[in-house]
Structure 1
Amino acid sequence: MSKAILFDVDGVFLDESRCFDVSALTIYELLYDAKFLNLASIIHLEEITDDEIQLIRSSVFQDDSILNQLKSLGLNSNWDMLFIVFSIHLVSILRSLNDKDKEYFLSESNFDETTLKCLGEKVKECKIDYTLPFEFMNTVSKGKDAIYQDLKKYVAQNLNTTSVSLFEIQSPLWQLCQEIYQEWYLGTQLYEEVEKKIAKSDYKKGYIYQEKVLAPIDSIRQLLQKLIDRGYAIGIAT
């Protein structure tokens, strides 16, 4: 029987901190940037400092309690975690609309890159309650598929609607969240090279270049080579 070891990257070879920073920045941009919901913000993302990033992360993820609870429920992808959190806040915003406007913004066929900006123009006053995701997480089942099913139920119940397809994996809304994350993580230039898409902003330098390795690189190389020499097939997945 063949022997194989599959390594993850985040949390095994690389510190996860920057990925979580990027998740928080993505949610913050979607909520507050002028291209999207454009709610009131005092932090300028174009010139953001590390202290401001930590302030955003502390607020958005409630000192990482939200991240930790999502992971304990079996959700490990940063794309999925940030999407769930943003979706809960989006539902809260949509609740303030009349039924006609609500259904318009929930329509998957109507959704494009300008939809959130248009929604923001409809919302006169909105204060984000960063604790809202706890209300959702405390009632959901474990496992990625179950969480997404429960998210759609949450949307249906809170908005009194059957239009829930925007809150599925790979929906246009999910893809927008994923693209913004990739822009922050890769940076504008690398994003366009790797993703073959035009970036929505031109100021992101990429946090991939600031990743922290959890062990000396030479030690990691030696470990992997020893395992190969002993007959193990090595795989790396992320």
Structure 2
Amino acid sequence: MISLRKAEERGAANFGWLDSKHTFSFGSYYDPAHMGFSALRVINDDTVQGGAGFGTHGHKDMEIISYVTHGVIEHKDSMGNVQSLPKGEFQLMSAGTGVQHSEYNGSDTDLLKFLQIWIVPNEVGGKPGYQQKHFGNEFGLTPIITPTGENGTLKIKQDARLSQLILAPGQSITIDVDGQRKYYVHQVEGSLLVDENRLGQGDGAKIESLQSLVITNDSSQSATALVFDLPK
């Protein structure tokens, strides 16, 4: 079964310096039908004006992923990390017992666009952690986050996996899926067919009780999506 979450149906918040689209309930946007999907709790599609950003604030017991699609994030946290996160880079911050951090647009003039993703951990407490890496732009499915940190992936405190999917025009991929797990596809750029369901930029697809998944780029430009493999 595949259920679509169209971009225009998402919640929205605009503070002038920040324009945010919420796939799931967040902040002042509340929809009991969209409280998350399995352990996936938040996908916020954020656009931050030049020179602006999120001042120092705290998180606890959450796995927080940032993925930049345009511009650069300037990150500082209470663990002592001072990092720049450019386009295409993935950051995973395990909040654990508690962490304070800030995120600012690294440019005074250009827009910053990034996805903020929260995954509920399967263990609470523990020492906060920080990981950051660029995984390239190869066509196909590239593992980004795993429970074990295998093969150079970022390690998450949850039985969940995140992969980057980039398909060239005319390219198709078949993904073997476990009918006892849940999957979510978030379209980042371009357009894809997910078992004949059209996803455009910002669209999502909840996937359950399937054995395989065929994803096709039938457009004239490359397309990028994030694929989440989640516990039942």
- TM > 0.5: no
Q: Which structure shows the higher strand fraction?
A: 2
Task: Give the TM-score, by structure 2 length.
Answer: 0.26
Q: Quick check: which has more Rg, 1 or 2? A: 1
Name the structure, 1 or 2, with higher relative contact order (CA <8 Å, separation 6+): 1
